[in-house]
Amino acid sequence: MQPIKHSILAVAVAAAVTYTASSVANSGLIELQQDPNQWVMPSGNYSSTRYSALDQINAGNVKDLQVAWTFSTGVLRGHEGGPLVLGDVMYVHTPFPNKVFALDLNNEGKILWKYEPRQDSSVIPVMCCDTVNRGLAYADGKIFLSQADTTLVALDAKTGAKVWSVVNGDPSKGSTSTAAPMVVKDMVYVGISGGEFGVRGYLTAYNINDGKLVWRGYSMGPDADTLMDPEKTTHLGKPVGKDSGTATWEGDQWKIGGGTTWGWYSYDPALNLIYYGSGNPSTWNPAQRPGDNRWSMTIWARDADTGMTKWVYQMTPHDEWDYDGINEMVLVDKEIKGKPRKALVHFDRNGFGYTLDRVTGELLVAEKFDPAVNWATHVDMATGRPQVVAKYSTDHNGEDVNTTGVCPAALGSKDQQPSAYSPRTGLFYVPTNHVCMDYEPFKVSYTAGQPYVGATLTMYPAPGGTTLGNFIAWDADKGKIVWSDPEQFSVWGGALATAGDVVFYGTLEGYLKAVDAKTGKQLYKFKTPSGIIGNVHTYTHNGKQYLAVLSGLGGWAGIGMAAGLTDPTAGLGAVGAYASLSDYTQLGGQLTVFSLPN
């Protein structure tokens, strides 16, 4: 396809910047995300498909890719997420201290402005698994950043001047922020981190014009907190009942129940529903919190305007393994089981790939997307409950028992690294972990602002090999792996699918890789200066297609190097599994941009 001329892009961007009415801001953002020449939100679009209609770079010529230019962020530790591109400007973010750069694509990446917040460094040790940040949001002439200290900031997209800011949580009590915000209409949505500190999760909507709170929906608590109608909100088609967010908790445990919301958010404009996942219940010691612990580990469908919950689906009731449910919700319209569906596809930490009807919450498919998964045999399609294998249960009635050989490990068969979907192949492309663990709970007491974990973990490769990851193609109708490419380490970078029938992803050693979308055959690789845990994206400038990715080792998989940890059980068990990473890469912070030769 031919790229849209930048004179037209300038008009589109100007329209989005000039008009401030909520209806215009909403329609402007919808139009902008439909322009493949730009990358205007972290997931590429509201559906979180991470698919680009650009095809200048394709399966036939991707082998000729070259580095076009680079940019150093000046920050070490984990660089998750990726930049935004609006017209002739690229917006780049960093981990703590959460700098934002606006780069002029017309002038060799010249820095147009830089925002560098002053945050108290005491927030760093409160961040669970490195000081990452997953990106920025744009709307109505503003760039939105959720800082580590939970401050949500709106910046003028042209100048970098702060328009407004609001505090979304309290770091002294364990609340932090790592997620990229999402904008719908005249509201910006942001979640909260801190499940390992007993923070009760929530999603909050703020007005994009002044930062005023519009609504907040908690993951657990009475109906007034979770924004549920006991008769209208459903779980697998049945009403959830009164105060379902407290009924499966013992006493007031729900008040420190976890279920944080630090992942990705999707939106269906036709249904006006926001979709996201809630994380693990607190503590990691399951014996201390009997019951299903609703609504941790849950897929949520909320009304974008009011926050009212239409439906929920809890994937891992009474989680015993830290299988956070925060991974992306990919929204696609396709035939599932012989019937056209408005589908939601989700690859959960627990190792099951789920396909649901996103209108009703009906469970359609639930199958393992890594053959090593052993903690459950299958998901009962009538009840939606995984059938737990007793041998791999970590709840031993309060006894400190080391459960060995559990697959996947706590970081899951897939963590936050987002998948991609190609409408050309109908397949999902999933970066995965192939890691197992030993898990030993212990009794822990809650103190505000102190770790509330209660388990010691050791991680290692799954049985039968030494590789720690795979990059797979998945059929969400059949619930089967179509092809699988093994990787030495977990694939912690987000995928990108394109109309050129190429899929891109990054590796922990630092390689940008390109594979054939149909077969998985490797077509290209290039080693960047540091491990990649960022997400590949693409855009055009002056009619030419570019690819870009952040490299900078860190995140949970790279926490050992990022934080200087050496104990194999440190980093919540990850340090030992990835100890050899230092033989292949070092810390860094760089944007690398690729293009075909002129």
Catalytic machinery residues: 322
- Map residue 7 onto helix, strand or coil: helix
| Gap between the Cα atoms of 8 and 478, Å rounded | 42
Task: Quickly count: other Cβ atoms within 10 Å of residue 229's Cβ.
Answer: 14
| Gap between the Cα atoms of 3 and 442, Å rounded | 58
Q: Following DSSP, what letter does each residue of 538-575 receive, concatenated?
A: EEEETTEEEEEEEE---TTTTHHHHHT--STTTGGGHH
Q: Shortest CA distance to 410 belongs to which of 392, 428, 431, 384? A: 392
Contact 297, 315 (CB under 8 A): yes
- Map residue 458 onto helix, strand or coil: strand
Q: What are the backbone angles phi and psi of residue 22, rounded to the nearest 5°?
A: -60, -40
Show the tokens assigned to 63: 């082998």
How many alpha carbons lie under 13 Å from residue 243 in its C-beta half-sphere? Answer: 8
Task: Quickly count: other Cβ atoms within 10 Å of residue 13's Cβ.
Answer: 23
Q: Shortest CA distance to 447 belongs to which of 151, 199, 76, 216? A: 199
| Gap between the Cα atoms of 68 and 66, Å rounded | 6
| Gap between the Cα atoms of 115 and 142, Å rounded | 13
Q: Shortest CA distance to 313 belongs to which of 387, 409, 379, 214? A: 379
| Gap between the Cα atoms of 370 and 273, Å rounded | 30
Residue with tokens 């950043």: 145
For residue 502, is it left (φ>0), alpha (ψ between -120 and 50) or beta? beta
Regarding beta strands 309-314 and 162-167, do their DSSP bridges make them parallel or antiparallel, or are they unpaired? unpaired
Omega of the bond prior to 408 within 30 degrees of 0, cis? Answer: yes
Show the tokens assigned to 349: 């930490």
**E strand or H helix that includes residue 303:** strand 298-303
Contact 435, 411 (CB under 8 A): yes
| Gap between the Cα atoms of 433 and 410, Å rounded | 10
Strands (E), 418-509: 420-422, 427-433, 435-441, 455-461, 469-475, 480-487, 496-498, 502-506
